[in-house]
């Protein structure tokens, strides 16, 4: 084996190792599991800061969902024709008042329930 072939093989091995290091660096930067030297994956251990950020994100999502529900109600109120509420109030005012005797179910104290 001559020296040119040996340098070529060593160059290929160095290029492969350099590519593997760059690949793992990119994966670690973006939070993907890392590859070990045998092709398996190694999961990243979560730090306390990452856990706090996850909890904070969940709280913010909950707040956003509540605000979204409120926005839907507010949009419905704003886009609803404003005069319909006034018309409903006036319609209730125009109804004749019930007499004092007609307040619902009549009470007949003379008539007893039969058991």
Domain boundaries, the chain: 1-45, 47-95
pLDDT of 23 reads: 84
Binned at pLDDT 50, 70 and 90, residue 4 comes out as confident
**CB of 48 within 8 A of CB of 55?**
no
The predicted-structure confidence for 40-99, as pLDDT tens digits, reads as follows 666 666 677 888 888 999 999 999 999 998 998 888 777 766 667 677 777 777 766 555
pLDDT for res 111: 63
Output the CA–CA distances (angstroms, integers) from residue 93 to 34, 84, 86, 88, 99, in the order listed.
73, 14, 11, 9, 15
- Between 115 and 29, whose confidence is greater? 29
Alpha helices, H only, 30-47: none
**What pLDDT score does 104 carry?**
59
| C-alpha to C-alpha distance for 50 and 85, rounded to whole angstroms | 50
The model carries a pTM of: 0.34
């Amino acid at each position: 084996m001559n020296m040119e072939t040996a340098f070529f093989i060593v160059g290929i091995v160095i290029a492969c190792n350099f590519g593997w290091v760059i690949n793992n660096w990119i994966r670690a930067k973006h939070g993907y599991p890392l590859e070990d030297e045998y092709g398996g994956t190694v999961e990243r251990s979560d730090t306390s800061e990452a856990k706090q950020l996850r909890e904070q994100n969940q709280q913010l999502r909950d707040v956003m969902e509540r605000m979204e529900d409120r926005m839907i109600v507010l949009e419905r109120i704003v886009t609803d024709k404003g005069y319909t509420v006034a018309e409903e109030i006036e319609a209730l005012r125009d109804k004749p008042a019930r007499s004092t005797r007609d307040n619902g179910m009549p009470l007949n104290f003379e008539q007893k329930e039969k058991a």
